[in-house]
Structure 1
Amino acid sequence: MAYSTVADLTVEQFKDLMRQVVIQTLSEVLGDPDEGLELRDDITVRMQRSLAALQAGTKTIPAQEVAAKLGLTW
């Protein structure tokens, strides 16, 4: 049955509508826009090299230090 105004809805129908709106809004705000996309080959290679260097004990720079050098608040 189609309704033309919110006033035509029962309390349960209104609750269901609000639930749907909240779920949709949370999905839009918190969802991952890249979900389901594949990494480009060059990015995959860079990530693999980075992980291999980390596992080999290569010195890394903490994110807080990088942020400070760039004047960012971390």
Structure 2
Amino acid sequence: MTTVAQMTRDELREMIETTVEQKLLELLGDPDEGLPIRKAIRERLLRQREAVASGERGEPFEDVIRRLGLE
């Protein structure tokens, strides 16, 4: 088992992101759960899920900070 001290910065960030996302879903739930969704939206969500699963996670946070001049 890997300890926090053994993790890379990216591994730690990923673990924290996953934990925060899980907790938010647990606390807030999905207000749209059970409602029908349009076919186009469903297809887009499935494409996004596949992109995340294949390692495409969008623009890195650090890049957004630099792009917005928030450094």
- Please tell me the TM-score bracket, short chain as reference: 0.3 to 0.5
Structure of higher CA gyration radius: 1
Normalising by structure 2, what TM-score?
A: 0.41
Q: TM-score, normalised by structure 1?
A: 0.39
